[in-house]
Amino acid sequence: MKTYAHIILKEGKILAIHLNNEQASGSQLLQAHPAGSTNTTVEHLETTHTYEIKSGSISVVTMQNIYDRMNDPDDDTVTIPS
């Protein structure tokens, strides 16, 4: 069974990500979010940890992406909580 990520966006930022097995249910989720929000639905892969906006497009983030960023001293896109 496929899993879909319903990504709720507003003003170029991700507000929420809802996962379920219904491709068409994303629009009804908008009722729980601020007016003017939009929904984009993508197939969610097992290797996907989360999503981000890069250059105006939704991009997949895997755990390996996060590890690579954390181990790169010049990358400040991921911070380790202290």
Q: pLDDT (tens digit, 9 = 90+) per residue, 2-61?
A: 999 999 999 999 999 999 998 887 888 898 999 999 999 999 999 999 999 988 899 999
User: For position 39, what pLDDT does the model report?
Assistant: 94
Residue 80 lies in a domain: no
DSSP state of 23: G
Report d(CA 80, CA 30) in Å as an integer. 31
Residue 49 lies in a domain: yes
Residue 82 lies in a domain: no
Residue 81 lies in a domain: no
Looking at the 3D structure of the chain, how many domains does it have?
A: 1
Is residue 70 scored above 90 in pLDDT? no
Domain that includes residue 30, residue range = 3-71
Could you tell me if 66 and 77 are in contact, meaning their C-beta atoms sit under 8 angstroms apart?
Answer: no
pLDDT confidence of 79, banded at 50, 70, 90? low
User: For position 55, what pLDDT does the model report?
Assistant: 86
Residue 79 lies in a domain: no
Residue 25 lies in a domain: yes
Residue 18 lies in a domain: yes
